[in-house]
A and B are shown apart, each in its own frame.
Chain A
């Protein structure tokens, strides 16, 4: 019974925790600009993250080592600096975007400008990471994030899409001069969904929750079913934007604008539901990003770490966490719109994906870590394809950033 509960909780939290400022921004903009023309990118990204999450969970459960441990121990300190540097840069931007998302959600609910609420969001995250256990941090916002399933309700209430919109599924409406922008969004969708911070967080979470070789079923179900169903929120938001915003020529340039897509099917209640969904998903993601980067640094340098220990017992881990949060606050206080920051952060993440993901190919085939649970041909083929896609996205994302002016 305990096992069933653990599996159910894993699925539920994966569903509720799938979305974040990045995926909300990319799904909203993708639907508003290209109808259903980027659904394939969301599905592709979802399949990739399912595979990666399952692998990293399996790795940690069997080896009792986290992803960051493995990178440092197997590849050495010099190589470790590359994914570390890429994470520090990309995730500080993303954290600022997530805090901005929380602030905007609070702004939608209270009417107060998000600029004033930004520090409130940061303080809330600080209080939670300082005092809450891992279970509360992982499960709390994710359970609240089940509100994202209301996006699916909105889609159902709107009824079937027009044929002209349905056609965009296999024929994206890319106007002349828009191809760079289209590819930029592909890169952003991949970067927003396949965020390496998820892997560091999931891997560390497996240790926090004392996973072992007996947890492989829980891991597989959480990854496949949880992440799979989690993408429903992302797809539903894309479809909502396509049906509601695109005919109005709205480009979903802000998070608030994306929320309007919920107002049509559900009225004012839809607006509030969107705000609550945005709040919970961005809060959950902010917590995960802060923890993921702190885990990465602490594990890479061999410090004591863990949310279930008192701050004084893991002083370096918490000290880094506070500094990292401060850096994100400083970035956020520059006043950049959180949606634009989320899109930019997602493409920076996409740029660094090959560096962050390449260790998988080696560690997942190392019997010293995984014994008889190493990758089979399917998983190895999948990793190679993921790396090729990541590399292609990385190569094009910088020129696209320049050409499109960051979306």
Chain B
């Protein structure tokens, strides 16, 4: 009974959060999103939000469009001067964007609609597993691989990884993209003046 009551309270709180939080298009709350944990629908933690991308719409609204992950996005958080250096070294191979439509609710942990295999974020984990750990005894690779094969996701990772990321590209209204880290940097300079 107590557990049922607790579950009811939790559901009530979730409902209140859903009502309080404005629609996705009105959100640009860096503090609430930046650095949050990203978790997929199959309960896999694939990384954290390193940066956000927003678009300045013709009507003047700033709309959140993508969550960015990866070392290149993180470099921009440390210093705007570091970003082009890291970009040059990594050749844009490790920056991943997750469309905002993929977020299933804005909570301390951001839950994504897709499975881990649907996103290129976290691909390094799969690469390590498939190319290095598979040869190490006791890694559990065989059982893990069999499980993936049974669920039908064994080898199709690179084909599906970018599907989610490009899905909403076609539906987005045209606008001017800005990065959250750049906005924050601009605001801090503005305040210091």
Contacts and interface: CB of A to CB of B under 8 A. Distances in A.
Contacts of A301: 47-48
Interface in A301-323: 301-305, 310-316, 318-319
B128 A69 contact: no
B77 A311 contact: no
A303 B45 contact: yes
B38 A302 contact: yes
A67 to B, nearest CB: 14
Band of interface residues on B: 20 to 34
Given A73-B108, A77-B74, A310 B47 contact: no
A316 B124 contact: yes
A72 B48 contact: yes
B125 A303 contact: yes
Interface stretch (B55-63, B97-105, B133-141, B157-165): B133-141
Contact of B47 (A303, A312, A315): A303
A73 B36 contact: yes
Interface in A130-187: 130-131
A30 to B, nearest CB: 41
Nearest to B124: A316
A65 interface: yes
Given A69-B37, A73-B108, A76-B35, A311 B74 contact: no
A124 to B, nearest CB: 15
Nearest to A319: B128
Residue of A72, A73, A81, A315 ringed by the most chain B CB atoms within 10 A: A315
B138 A311 contact: yes
Contacts of B126: 315
B108 A313 contact: no
A78 interface: yes
Residue of A78, A300, A301 ringed by the most chain B CB atoms within 10 A: A301
B35 A312 contact: no
Chain A interface SS verdict (over half) = helix
Contacts of B136: 311
Contacts of A303: 45-47, 122, 125
Contacts of B132: 315, 319
Given A77-B50, A313-B144, A315-B125, A302 B37 contact: yes
A304 B45 contact: yes
A311 B140 contact: yes
A77 B129 contact: no
A304 B77 contact: no
Nearest to B44: A304
B112 to A, nearest CB: 12
Interface string A65-85: 100010011001110110000
A274 B3 CA distance: 50
Given A65-B108, A302-B45, A302-B46, A312 B34 contact: no
A278 B7 CA distance: 48
B78 interface: yes
A316 B144 CA distance: 15
A392 B122 CA distance: 42
B140 A312 contact: yes
B143 A310 contact: yes
Contacts of A318: 133
Interface in B89-133: 108, 122, 124-126, 128-129, 132-133
A312 B77 contact: no
Contacts of B38: 302
A310 B44 contact: no
Nearest to B48: A302
A77 B45 contact: no
A35 B178 CA distance: 64
Given A77-B78, A315-B129, 10 more contacts: A65-B108, A76-B35, A76-B77, A77-B35, A80-B35, A304-B44, A311-B139, A313-B144, A315-B126, A315-B133
Q: Which 10 A-B pairs have the closest CB atoms?
A: A310-B140, A302-B48, A315-B128, A302-B47, A311-B139, A315-B129, A312-B141, A312-B129, A312-B144, A312-B140
17 contacts: A69-B37, A72-B35, A73-B36, A73-B37, A77-B50, A77-B77, A78-B77, A130-B138, A302-B45, A304-B46, A310-B140, A311-B138, A311-B139, A312-B141, A315-B129, A319-B128, A319-B132
Interface of A: 65, 69, 72-73, 76-78, 80-81, 130-131, 300-305, 310-316, 318-319
